[in-house]
Structure 1
């Protein structure tokens, strides 16, 4: 069974591929990776090697950091796995300035305090 992280990376590759208008076949062709391997990666059924990851990133014409921005994953709102949700939350703020992160933390604390009071 693959890890949640492998599944997230696969979903992110699928999302970027679709945004670029590529089919799995065209991504396979551009990257030099078999289409079945691309399909397995996107479904989180294959643990992608760094070498293959580099080929896919190059074929998608993105920076490596863009691959790990999980906030754009289509189904993130439907997730119930705490670890995946926390990773997505982290990716939302990781590129922000310290002051922005502090503001988000204060706002989250206030919201969670309010939520706790309402649901008592």
Structure 2
């Protein structure tokens, strides 16, 4: 049975790969990691070594923080730095399916439209 962290890392690797529009086969070729191993990692069925993680991050042109940032909206109300708030929103959406992100985008547009109309 895999741990929550193993599943989380696998999901983040999959998300980063899909954001780059890479297939598992392409990531395998680019990283030198066997395609079956990548598939197992993404499903949270295999532990990943630091060496393998580094190979995948290099191939994905990603930083470790992009895999391990586990923050959501907790404490977001206390943040005042615009960049930190946007990063928190990005982290919250990073592991979501495209249709979920599209729904959030539509909601944000509606809320901002209403807010802008109230300011007029």
Query: Which TM bucket (shorter chain)?
Result: 0.5 to 0.7
**Structure 1 outlier segments of 4+, above 6 Å:** none
Deviations 1:54-76 (A, max 9, x none): 00010000111011235xxxxxx
| Superimposed CA distance per residue, residues 64-115 of structure 1 (whole angstroms, 9 cap, x where no aligned partner) | 1011235xxxxxxxxxxxxxxxxxxxx1369x99x518xxxxxxxxxxxxxx
The alignment status of 1:100 with 2:79, answered yes or no, reads yes
Q: TM-score, normalised by structure 1?
A: 0.60
Unaligned runs of 5+ in 1: 71-90, 102-120
Q: Supply the RMSD in Å over aligned alpha carbons.
A: 2.3
Report the counterpart of residue 18 of structure 2 in structure 1.
18
Which secondary structure does the structure 1 equivalent of 2:7 belong to? helix
- Unaligned 5+ segments in structure 2 are 81-120
TM-score (norm 2): 0.60
